[in-house]
Chains A and B, each alone.
Chain A
Amino acid sequence: MNNKIKDMIFEFSQAYGPPGREEGIRSSIRQRVEGLCDEITVDQSGNLIAIKHATERKSGRLMVSTHMDEVCLLCSKVLDSGFLRVEPVGFDPKLLPSQKVTVHTKGGEKLRGVVGMLAPHLQTEETKSKISDYDDLFVDVSMHDIGKFSVGDFITFSSEPFESKPFVFAKTIDNRGCCIASVVALEYLQNLRHSFDYYAVFSSREEIGAFGARTATSLIQPDLSIAMDVTFGNIDIPGHPKVELGKGPVIAKGPVLTKRVSERLLSCGKNNGIATQLEVTPSRTGTDADQIQLEGFPVGLISIPLSYMHNTFEKINTEDVKETGRLLALFTSELRQEFLSIQPEEEGE
């Protein structure tokens, strides 16, 4: 399983999918979930929804949302001298100098670009002591006909994934790692009974505000939902519990998240011998869960620990991906209608 997960990370991380342009990753995921579910649809927002019907008398709808889009750059100006100016979508400019990128042109080509950095010989004391922000950065595309480029072209990072067991290093594991956990859950569900229709949503446009998850929720009207995303692993964040790679899925607690869902995820892990970790999200979670909550549905959040989020190389432990998928499948299988009947108290009438 871990080897298969590694292969999927290699494949998914290279698939094209900036916010609102998720066609590449959508087709990769589609190929993996075909045969594991009963229906596959793509909605107006570009969400891919894989539905696996309940195998027992239907008790409700469970939605699991994992975003599939990636951080990227956008071309904001084309210079005749063979360079592009760029604007970011969630990307740290410090990682860019001397980076190979791929420009996705309106003609459908994938063209190489290089983010240049002045050689140290030509730097001055002044230029040495500052970091290049998007006003100074440029993409060298002089290896191609400049007429092929236009404002609005999406630019993704080019980094070759590799494995150093049990870790995989690749771009865009945020959030393709969770997409894979969702596929893994569907695989486990093949051998489990479940009384909820299971909606695996691979959502669009999370990196610009999780709009995909919002519209999917509105469409599906789930009785219960789980958002899956990555979280900061192996780093000390003042005031937060330290989450570590290789120690299992992370269950979040916070105002956005429905308390009994978080508790049930934790107890499900405990009962099935799946190690879990805890994190707190005292305000917004910064994931699909925020938008699901705004639609008014109960929601829980499972995160996979990851190092170096939004870097050109992110790091994940394949065991965590597997265990997250297993937890999700067992949670689904153990879910009964009674869990829904705990409704908020009503007064009057």
Chain B
Amino acid sequence: MARRSHRLPWAAVGVLLVAALLLTGCSGAALTPSSWPGVAVDEGTAYVASNQAVYAIDLANGAERWRFPAEPDRAIAFYAPPLVTDDGLIILGGFNNTVYAIHASDGRQAWTFADAKDRYVGGASQAGELILVPSSDHTLYALQRASGALVWAFETGAPLWAAPLVDGEVVYLPSQDHTLYALEGRTGKLLWSEDLGGALSDTPVLAGGLLLAGTFGQGLISLDPRTGAPEWAVTTGGWVWGNPAVDDAAAYFGDLSGAGRAVSLQDGSDLWSYQAGGDLVASPALGESSVYFATAAGVVQARSTADGAPLWEVTMAGPVNTDPLLTGDRLLVAVAGGDVLLAALDPATGATRWTFAPAK
């Protein structure tokens, strides 16, 4: 009797494996980080959330003070900008649907909150004794600062990717459901809401008695903070992802068509504009007489606030979609997907003061 072969037909197995690789590879999701770093600072330390850790970095020299968690945990990924609270806690949500409170002094965990059903992309805000954390599960969670216990929750119609703006007793919540909500901070009760015609992915700004919000639909919109009634709008050629930087007279912002611009706070009229040569996702940082834009192509550009004249530009080793931060005499720039995670630049010249690359 002939012996029957039970060997696997490797050609068939090979076809399946190639199909699997192609299918997962086609999404482009396998190798690309899900978001870009989140950055916050206090007096002497920068806190950077990027992928599997939150790093505390000495602002004087770029040295690492601590990281959380101390050992990498593949189940956790952080991209939300950390919140530094009055009482020395660092609070941020992760892609594992959990909010972490960490002691700013040494990186020890204080508490966690794990009730959300989806990931955290946006940063948290502090409203007195409450911590407000926006989740991709459409809900804003108000937690007790000391314990992380849930106080109230407010649900919207789409993911929340940006920290709410707290102004006294009122909380302004931007949602991807195209709506800006005004809530009573203590209870989460809705005061008013306004459909802005496009998704909102960054925190609105209060300036000159106006509330300014960037949208994916109609560009930059200004509203009356008491009622939500629109005042003026600036139509843009691309989505406005970041929020504007504002001074007494102007709002500075960029859009995904690569246009960086300054508009009058009074009526939204154009003051100046320029082409950055790449998507402007990050909100610009504002200095005394300069405004700093960063492009998704990794170019940081300093422009004069008066007329938009170029001052300097430097190219980083990866995309810069995180808002640059001006702190003292340093411009902090977080880079996505490169070896260097954070660079401190001289705001006057763009020269590098120090860089931080996490030890592996």
A binds B: no
**B residues near A, CB below 8 A?**
none
What is the interface of chain A, defined by CB distance below 8 A to chain B?
Answer: none
